[in-house]
Structure 1
Amino acid sequence: MPDLSGKVAIVTGCANGIGAATVRRLRADGAEVLGTDIDEQGGAALCDSEGARFAAQDVGEMSPWPVIVAEAVGTWGRLDILVNNAGTVSALSIEDVTDEAWDRIYNINIKGTMAGCRAAIKAMKDNPGGSSGSIVNISSTSAMAALPSDVAYCSSKGAVRVLTKSIATHCAKAGYNIRCNTVIPGATDTGILDHAENVTPGLKEAVAATSPLNRLADPAETAAAIAFLASDECAYMTGSELLVDGAMMAIHPGF
Structure 2
Amino acid sequence: MARLSGKIAIVTGAGSGLGKAISETFAKEGAQVVLTDIDIEAATKVADAIGANAIALQQDVVDEARWDVIFAATADAFGAPHILVNNAGLVIPGTIEDCSLELFRKQTSVMLDGVFLGCRSAVRAMKSNDQPSSIINLSSMAALQGYSPFVAYSAAKGGVRSMTKSVALHCKEQDYPIRCNSLHPAGIDTPMVRQEAVGAGGGETPATGMIKIGELGHPNDVAALCVYLASDESRFMTAGEYPVDNGVLYKPA
TM-score normalised to the size of structure 2? Answer: 0.92
Task: Tell me which amino acid in the other structure corresponds to 2:149.
Answer: S
Identity of aligned residues (%): 39
- Paired with 1:82 and 1:181, the residues of 2 have a C-alpha distance of 11
Higher mean Cα deviation, 12-21 or 95-104? 95-104
CA contact (8 A) 1:184 1:241 kept: yes
CA contact (8 A) 2:194 2:200 kept: no
CA contact (8 A) 1:7 1:30 kept: yes
Residue 189 of structure 1: CA displacement? 0.3
CA contact (8 A) 2:91 2:196 kept: no
Corresponding position of 2:37:
37
> Quick one: which of 84, 87, 100 aligns to 2:86?
84
Residue 93 of structure 1: CA displacement? 1.1
Residue 23 of structure 1: CA displacement? 0.5
Higher mean Cα deviation, 91-100 or 24-33? 91-100
CA contact (8 A) 1:2 1:227 kept: no
Residue 179 of structure 1: CA displacement? 0.2
- Paired with 1:49 and 1:134, the residues of 2 have a C-alpha distance of 25
- Paired with 2:134 and 2:193, the residues of 1 have a C-alpha distance of 29
Corresponding position of 1:21:
21
Cα deviation per residue 1:28-61 (whole Å; 9 max; x = unaligned)? Answer: 0000000000111111101110121000011122
CA contact (8 A) 1:2 1:233 kept: no
CA contact (8 A) 1:60 1:104 kept: no
- Paired with 1:72 and 1:95, the residues of 2 have a C-alpha distance of 43
User: Aligned residues, how many?
Assistant: 245
Residue 212 of structure 1: CA displacement? 5.3
Task: Tell me which amino acid in the other structure corresponds to 2:24.
Answer: R
CA contact (8 A) 2:90 2:192 kept: no
- Paired with 1:179 and 1:107, the residues of 2 have a C-alpha distance of 24
> Quick one: which of 41, 54, 57 aligns to 2:56?
54
Residue 193 of structure 1: CA displacement? 2.7
SS in 2 for 1:109: helix
Task: Tell me which amino acid in the other structure corresponds to 1:118.
Answer: R
User: Structure 2: 5+ residue runs without aligned partners?
Assistant: 206-210
Cα deviation per residue 1:224-243 (whole Å; 9 max; x = unaligned)? Answer: 00110000001000000111
- Paired with 1:97 and 1:243, the residues of 2 have a C-alpha distance of 27
User: Structure 1: 5+ residue runs without aligned partners?
Assistant: none
Residue 160 of structure 1: CA displacement? 0.3
Residue 203 of structure 1: CA displacement? 4.5
TM-score normalised to the size of structure 1? Answer: 0.91
CA contact (8 A) 2:62 2:117 kept: no
Task: Tell me which amino acid in the other structure corresponds to 1:204.
Answer: G
- Paired with 1:30 and 1:70, the residues of 2 have a C-alpha distance of 21
- Paired with 2:67 and 2:139, the residues of 1 have a C-alpha distance of 20
CA contact (8 A) 2:126 2:133 kept: yes
Corresponding position of 1:97:
99
- Paired with 1:32 and 1:203, the residues of 2 have a C-alpha distance of 33
- Paired with 1:45 and 1:93, the residues of 2 have a C-alpha distance of 35
The runs of 4+ residues in structure 1 deviating greater than 4 Å are none
- Paired with 1:218 and 1:54, the residues of 2 have a C-alpha distance of 23
Corresponding position of 1:238:
238
Corresponding position of 2:71:
69
CA contact (8 A) 1:84 1:116 kept: yes
Q: For residues 160 and 49 of structure 1, do their structure 2 counterparts lie closer, same or farther at Cα, with a shift above 3 Å needed? A: same
Corresponding position of 1:224:
224
CA contact (8 A) 1:61 1:107 kept: no
